[in-house]
């Protein structure tokens, strides 16, 4: 059984839903050493999240952003946590709804994603910073 763990820093990405599968793969040459295993990808932030979804049609990313902005609006009168601006509390809520990690099977040295699946960084802040991921690979 092999275990690998590394932290990678993503570039600054604007608010929205961004495919990061290729960025992750570029940082994981260790994948080729695993025939059967799991990749656990965790984001070390409370105002951004990760998810798996459609990677072919860019309108999906736009629709995600539109839906989450309607579902979790800014400037709701009942938000108390707004010290960093009107997107502060909504960003935390969106991150909790989507989650801080994804786990993907590894098969024959590759992420075993579906034909139309990709890994998304869901950036919920207007003034985003570079985000850190911790990636743990396990397998044989």
Q: Is 61 strand, coil or helix?
A: helix
CA 69, CA 87: separation in Å to the nearest integer?
A: 10
Summarize pLDDT for 93-106 with one digit per residue, the tens.
999 999 999 999 99
Percent of the chain with pLDDT over 90: 98
Percent of the chain with pLDDT over 70: 100
- What number does CATH give the domain 2-72+81-139? 2.60.120.460
CA 133, CA 5: separation in Å to the nearest integer?
A: 10
How crowded is residue 84: how many other Cβ atoms within 10 Å of its Cβ? 13
Ranges of each domain in the chain: 2-72+81-139
User: Which token pair is 21?
Assistant: 């599968």
Summarize pLDDT for 59-118 with one digit per residue, the tens.
999 999 999 999 999 999 999 998 999 999 999 999 999 999 999 999 999 999 999 999
Pairing of strands 36-43, 101-107: antiparallel
pLDDT at 67: 98
Summarize pLDDT for 9-62 with one digit per residue, the tens.
999 999 999 999 999 999 999 999 999 999 999 999 999 999 999 999 999 999
Q: Which residues contact 132 (CB under 8 A, 6 or more apart)?
A: 7, 8, 9, 10, 43, 44, 45
- Cα dihedral sign for 122, 124, 130, 136? negative
Confidence of residue 130 (pLDDT cuts 50, 70, 90): very high
């Amino acid at each position: 059984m092999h275990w690998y763990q590394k932290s990678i820093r993503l570039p600054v990405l604007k608010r929205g839903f961004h495919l990061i599968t290729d960025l992750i793969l570029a940082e994981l040459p260790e994948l080729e050493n695993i025939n059967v295993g799991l990749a656990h990808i965790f984001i070390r932030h409370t105002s951004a999240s990760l998810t798996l979804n459609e990677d072919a049609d860019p309108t999906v990313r736009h629709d995600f952003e539109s839906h989450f902005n309607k579902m979790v609006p800014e400037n709701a009168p009942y938000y108390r946590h707004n010290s960093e601006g009107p997107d502060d509390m909504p960003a935390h809520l969106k991150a909790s709804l989507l989650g801080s990690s994804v786990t993907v099977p590894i098969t024959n040295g590759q992420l075993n994603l579906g034909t139309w699946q990709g890994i998304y960084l869901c950036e919920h802040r207007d003034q985003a910073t570079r985000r850190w991921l911790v990636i743990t690979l396990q397998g044989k």
